[in-house]
Amino acid sequence: MIDLRRTLLIVIGMVGALVVQTTLFGRVRLGGIAPDMVILAVVFFSLRARAETAMLAAFSIGFLFDAVASSSALGLRAIAYTTVAFVAVRTRDRADIGPLAVAVWAGLMTLVGITAILLVGTLFGQFSMGFGQASRRIFLVPLFNAGIAVVLSPFTSRLLDGRRGVMGL
């Protein structure tokens, strides 16, 4: 049975993350690098959603991101975000032990996503950044997302579970 409330929250959360990513973090950057809120939304929703729902939502928001707000090849982020959702679903039982564990896990999942975006983008000639910029992005974006995850994990747990779960404070 499809949980309509959870499905609506996932859709609203994913689109909200896309809007924040393209508006706020499109302009506000730390050292030229911004957190990736869409990957973070994919990670949080993969923690609580069914596997099929998580991967479908990840692919859809990645495709929408490419179609609306990205100058990269159509489907690049869809592939990367689906990969993140797959790895997140396969490893989520190791992450649901507290906000700090979720933050570390979210940072690692962000590392998977950023690496996939850079790798696939480079293979298709979408990126031409040097080693310094690529390495800064690979290291800083997961750190930014892990810091944001510490704050957001109790909130998303309560929102998606409808109760105080393991991640709640």
In a domain, 53, yes or no: yes
Domain-located, residue 140: yes
33: which strand partners? 30
Tell me whether residue 167 is in a domain.
Answer: no
Read off the CATH number of the domain in which 67 is found: 1.10.1760
Question: What does the pLDDT profile of the chain (169 residues) look like in tens digits?
Answer: 567 777 788 888 889 998 998 888 877 777 778 899 999 999 988 888 889 989 999 999 999 998 987 777 788 999 999 999 999 999 988 877 778 888 999 999 999 999 999 888 888 877 666 777 788 889 999 999 999 998 888 887 777 676 444 444 3
> Is 139 a domain residue?
yes
Task: Report the DSSP beta bridge partners of residue 30.
Answer: 33
Structurally, how many domains does the chain consist of? 1
Tokens representing residue 1 in the block: 């049975």
Instruction: In whole angstroms, give the CA distance from residue 41 to residue 55.
Output: 12
In a domain, 155, yes or no: yes
Residue 112: which domain range?
A: 4-161
Q: How far apart are CA 111 and CA 76, in angstroms?
A: 16
Report field, pTM of the whole predicted structure over 0.75: yes
